[in-house]
Amino acid sequence: MASRRPRKRPPAAAASPHPPLGEFGRIARFFAPLAKGAAGAANLEDDCAVLKPPPGQLLVLKTDTIVDTIHLVGDEPPDLIARKALRVNLSDLASKGARPLGYLVALSLTTGTQDHWVELFAKGLAEDQKEFGVTLLGGDTTHTPGPTTISITILGATSARSIPRRGDAEPGDEIWLTGTIGDGALGLLAARDGLADLSPAQRAFLADRYHLPQPRLQAGQALAAVVNAAMDVSDGLVGDLAHIAKHSRLDAWIDWDELPLSPAGRLALQAYPGLAGEVLTGGDDYELLVTAPPSAARRIQKIAHDTDTPITRIGRMGARRARAPKVRVVDGEGADRTPRGPGGYRHA
């Protein structure tokens, strides 16, 4: 998941006139209802959840973390933070064609965090549990001097015979992308009161794309049987495609003119042409990036129609390379549009 520069303050909550519930009180009141009906969760009254894998299916697991001073702008309400924390994990499941089974959440809250903040956070999780059919299985809460840190581990399952991995691309594969690209990075600028030449509605659209990604679960489950390699775009299109290129030992080409941009994103580039690099390397889009043989094109187009998910062919994989595969971005006139530098966020 892409990281951002520190913001000025940690999330705060108004002082409560009621005595704090404490760790176990918060679990009982706010989180145990989220585990209701989850097989093996034991109503969050035990140390461990016990989960039996569905017969004949593979388990898929992923952990992602949101750190308050790095991943948040500063004005997000707790329910929105919770929903993003869950959705970025769901996006990883989507890239492997898995359906969600349940999740664990670990909260390290700054001393003085009020019960009302935790209540709103749990309400955000409850809202997305209903939308995506997933339940809480367990986790942990603790205090920290700061910053607040939210870590979610999600469990999924798939009956696919093989799971598309980063290193499974083949020479000549076409590169496909769901949705639109660049909205996350542009949305971060909008959320920080940037992009002043856009309308309030356009800035709000982009900021919403940054704050609340849309995991492509349905499309991902259908694509898993068709594509060779897959991952989600969390750290920037060029940087994430470079992972596929590196592990598949293949060069990759992106056609700049074919990149799918939202109307707001296109207007942003018209007003600020210098942001082209942000579209290519900025993170937080959480779209699916896949490669597939040319023969799969019709099936991918049918999946796009059946799942109501735009899926655009944006490039191709090149010849096998023994080492140092490269990602290039070229426009219709043959001009090199490849951004300079590492091309994606680095977590360490």
Query: Given the structure tokens 């969760």, which residue do they identify?
Result: 41
Q: Is pLDDT of 343 > 70?
A: no
Please state whether the predicted TM-score (pTM) of the whole model is above 0.85. Answer: yes
Q: Is pLDDT of 233 > 50?
A: yes
At 35-71, the pLDDT tens digits run: 988 878 888 888 898 988 889 899 999 999 999 888 8
Q: Read off the pLDDT of each residue in 318-341 and give the average, rounded to a whole number.
A: 89
Say what the pLDDT of residue 10 is: 44
Say what the pLDDT of residue 52 is: 85
Between 317 and 161, the higher pLDDT residue = 317
Query: Which ranges constitute the DSSP H helices of the chain?
Result: 22-26, 68-71, 78-95, 115-132, 183-191, 200-211, 217-223, 237-248, 263-271, 276-281, 297-306
Ordered by where they begin, the domains of the chain are 22-158 (3.30.1330.10), 166-330 (3.90.650.10)
User: Would you state the structure tokens that stand for residue 193, as one six-digit string?
Assistant: 């009161």
238 vs 92, 99, 162, 232, 338, CA distance in Å? 18, 27, 25, 12, 8
The Cα 230–Cα 220 span in angstroms is: 9
Instruction: For 49-62, give the secondary structure using H, E and C.
Output: CCCCCCCCCEEEEE
314 vs 25, 72, 123, 180, 272, CA distance in Å? 51, 30, 38, 11, 22
